[in-house]
Structure 1
Amino acid sequence: MAGLVHNLNLELSPLGSSHAVQAFSSALRLKTLPIHIDWVILSLACFTALYSFLAEPITKLFIRKQWAAFTDKQRADWKLRVVSLAQSLLLGPASLYVIWLQKTQWQDRSLIQRVFEYYEPETHITNVAIGYFLWHFAMMIKEFDRHGMQMIAHAVIGVVFLGGVYYPFTSSMTAWFLVYEVTNIPHNIYKFLIPLGKGVSPFSIANAVVWIVSFLFIRIIWGTYATYMYLSDLFALYNSSMTVQELGRDEWEMVQHLQKKGLEPSAVRLLVLVWCTTCGIILAGLNYLWFVLIVKTFIKKVSSRKVSPGEGQKTQ
């Protein structure tokens, strides 16, 4: 690990957590996890503290009377939304910024670089996301009777899918999908307005329009394109062997370059291809389904000017 850290110009975690996960990371070949584990732990701790200690007093600063009238269920849901909004405000804009940074670099990156190179900005936002999903997983276990298995599966898939960045594997592409969190900003605002009795207010309608438009452009149009580009690279590597004859001299030289840095570019295995393809297709399909349901809910709300607390779909 010391050689890898030296080659990547990084340092082991200052809290000493690197040694605690060394065996785990070695077993799963997650070579850069020990470098980033402190940030994952910090992210998890921050989201836990926000839910347990900060969400309620922050809320009382703005809606003390309404909070006093909330049921225990409403309070728990509200605090979940506070954390969800916080991570959306962090990950959404950060992912947009990383994608903007990539715009001049992406064309210069080879196939091998796009899939196996280590990219620090992308990995840092993934640290925050994994910390959030670990917190989310714990909360869904705690409140299983209210949220069910689907939300637990959502958290598990999020951790496993994003965890590949520590191989590193497709770390350059994680921002493409974390940018989906931008759409959860108006979504959480919508959820906040319902218990306040403002689900059909002019502001709520305007917020819903922003939600629909952002969902269309980010999750449907951009998401479809990103999924296609992501899977195209994986299929291209699966259909070629790790040889100079198959990859071409330039790509083969990049393989050797990354190996000298301590990284391990390799052919994409069938199981990995099936997993990534399944996750990509399911996520894209869910986005299309959610978009239809959001539009239907919006049309119903506008036409009837009445919304019930149970309406709306979870999109995170």
Structure 2
Amino acid sequence: MTTFGYRVMELYVTPLRKPDDRVPFTEPQATTGLRSAVLKVIEDASSAGQKDDGKSIYTRISVVKESGWGILLTAQGGDYGERREIFDVESGNPDDPPREIKLSDAVLKDFHILFIIPPYGVSGLMISEVRGRSHLTAPICAMLNSRLRQYGICIRLTSDLVDAQAWSEFLSDEGVGITGVELVQSTRSADRTAFTQENVKSARLQLSLVDGSEVKRRILSAVRAMRDSNKPPKLAGIVGLRGFKDEDFDEQQVITVHDGRQRKIDVTSSWPRFTYPIDTDEPISAREFVEAVISTAKIALDNLNVDLSAQWRPKILD
């Protein structure tokens, strides 16, 4: 069953080849500000899709709506370049011949993306719908940046601040439990301890923890402490793993459960990307997507010190 959610990223703009110099949203002067420039390039991009031959991904924008500070896209994306067949699993009729998907056919899914771009300041938001692990953040940004070059600028994204806040609130919830630890070793060198001397690509060690155990409490405390220090906990030492050090692993993940949903937190370096769940088992409409994300958007904008006006909130009708 597909899980639905969304990611929130701070959006800012810099000149080309100057990633540390933020441009005020009142620019570019060729338009009436960044929001107008982004809306224009989005409308230009919606007339044609874009292929990524390196990753065999095709992306297109099918619907554009705007309201308040918001620009809402319904984008479609999917892969191509592999011959496949379609079969109706509901009917299961073996007499129905499968329909062919050709090498040049892209299998597309809809994704909602909401841009919130204030008329002033240097910080806005890009909120992307996530289905399972799929989202169109990168290809849509690449599509828009190729057209924003005419203004000498490009969109950049960071989620450090908004994700750290989200993880902090998540881990502060007393209903969050720790069920296990996963340690992954995917590179080999002469001075590293290895699970085996055989030639293997990677090895994964999963430890399931006993409810109410001291080690479980230590892990939860260490992960929560990461909110303030932003330093990863040393899980191999905490669980008492013999013969291995934390440096022997390329990934260290804490397995959590909340409201029956399992979630893995990769604590190897800083905070991982946070995905907010949407409580649905079916694709949602554009209006429903905006309603699902808007309260989180307000909190994120407040944390970014964006001065909200009475007209900031996008109101999207289906």
TM-score category (smaller protein): under 0.3
- Whichever structure has more strand as a proportion of its residues is 2
- Whichever structure has more helix as a proportion of its residues is 1
With the length of structure 1 as denominator, give the TM-score of the two structures: 0.24
